[in-house]
Amino acid sequence: MAALADHARHTLDLQYYLMRDDASTRALLGRVDAAARRGVRVRVLLDDLNTAGADDALLCLTRHPNIELRLYNPFPAGRGSTLTRVLASIRDVRRVNQRMHNKMFVADNAIAVTGGRNLGDAYFVQSLASNFVDLDVIAAGPVVRDLSASFDRFWNSELAYPLRTLVTKDPDCAGPLAAAPPSPNGQRVVAGPQPVSSPDSPSGLPPADSPQERTSVEIPDSAFAQDLGAGRLQLAWVPATVLADAPSKIASEGDPDRSETIADDIVTLTRAARREVVLISPYFVPGKRGVALARELHARGVQLRVLTNSLAATDAPIVHIGYARYRRDMLEAGAELYELRSRLGAPRSRLGSFGSSLASLHAKALVIDRRLLLIGSMNMDPRSARLNTEIALVMRSPALAGQVVQLFEDVAASSSYRVEALADGRLRWVGQAPGAPTVEGSEPDAGVGLQWLLMLLSPFAPDELL
């Protein structure tokens, strides 16, 4: 992404659900600001759910006239905190419960990055506390125009509000962007624009996940950056299609028309499988429809393999209720279920090292017969299907599909539990790596208190809200 910002000549379009207040985001936005100062037109479209208290920082980000920021589906009142926002929107709960979950970074309508990744240390494996296993795809060629068209539809939507229509004050910014001196290895550490604000939130953006976070990061000169600078990108040229929800999905109040959502398209792709479906989804709530689809696939001899988070690994325990509710049904329907452990082993793939930090799955991918690959922002749960807007890229490529299957198999073998159903009604979690434990009857590595809490909340957590 930094390389795309560095080499952009005309436009940068950023569409995100979440931008954290941490070193990685500030470093990347520093590169975006530098592009604006070179004359590049920058448009930032950000969902408003996680921007409580961030108005000053967002205004400082847009102080250059070439940077325009719009907030999607905003909270118009009570902007100082999440509590005041919710209270001010209590009569509009249905609307504010639906969010723009799309993620893309597009340069010059020619090259784009899209997938499951938000902006923040944890999404770039830079957090000292916990990091996400995530997945993006770099796209070039005609398909990028389709991504840009989707961005434009959201940018021009009546739910996309220019920041200045919601916030009229003038922020006190800390001064111009400054680049730190080069580090010993020659890399620069870039700080983003920061307002003068409280010590609790030095930039005013949504706070980082842990108080023990990096104060700066170095953006390495990657092989992609070098190839981009030399004009010789090493890409696999394959047929590709964009699947994108319509902005009007949010106005549907949870009952979108088939033309507004890509959920049915994904089901259609899955049904087309002849041998194998590999699914990676951090938040997996199959519901009765998903169980029926698993049975249908099994009856046709199609192997369904699923990788999701364990309770100990997930960053959204409440969603785990919807997964656990159908876990045994999915196993009895013939599905293979793997749950990521909160501490990774030593995978053979290019996943990289997480050091001593905890891990959580955040990648979203679907592989059909090791030939068709989907990577996007959509989780396999009712919220993504009916409430949030999503986007995905579908590619027909055995080579790329094989890479994602290899990632699945490495993580399943080295860093996951395989879930099995026992005859007495209990479940068993079998550690796949040498020395990994086998646990029966209780969610592995998860506290008893958390398990009891979710058990108490389960009757009050219908699938459609998860």
Phi, psi of 308 (to 5 degrees): -140, -175
The catalytic position among 64, 249, 320, 362 is 362
Question: Does residue 362 come out as left (phi exceeding 0), alpha (psi in the -120 to 50 range) or beta?
Answer: alpha
DSSP state of 458: G
- Told to judge if 288 belongs to the known catalytic residues of this protein, a careful annotator would answer no
- Told to judge if 364 belongs to the known catalytic residues of this protein, a careful annotator would answer yes
The catalytic position among 22, 48, 56, 101 is 101
DSSP state of 110: T
**Greatest Cα-to-Cα distance within the chain, rounded to the nearest angstrom:** 67
Contact 419, 332 (CB under 8 A): no
| Burial of 386: CB neighbours in 10 Å, binned 0-12, 13-18, 19+ | middle
CB neighbours of residue 361 within 10 Å:
28
Residue 275 makes CB contacts below 8 A (sequence gap 6+) with 301, 302, 303, 369, 370
Distance separating alpha carbons of residues 251 and 253, to the nearest angstrom: 6
- Told to judge if 101 belongs to the known catalytic residues of this protein, a careful annotator would answer yes
Contact 60, 32 (CB under 8 A): no
- Told to judge if 103 belongs to the known catalytic residues of this protein, a careful annotator would answer yes
The catalytic position among 6, 7, 108, 315 is 108
The catalytic position among 64, 103, 249, 320 is 103
- Told to judge if 369 belongs to the known catalytic residues of this protein, a careful annotator would answer yes
Query: 166-179 burial by CB neighbour count: b if 16+ within 10 A, else e?
Result: bbeeebebbeebee
- Per the DSSP assignment, residues forming a β-bridge with 104 are 15, 114
The catalytic position among 13, 48, 364, 381 is 364
The catalytic position among 152, 227, 315, 369 is 369
Q: Per-residue DSSP letters for 6-49? A: HH-SSEEEEEES-B-BSHHHHHHHHHHHHHHHTT-EEEEEEEST
Active site residues: 101, 103, 108, 362, 364, 369
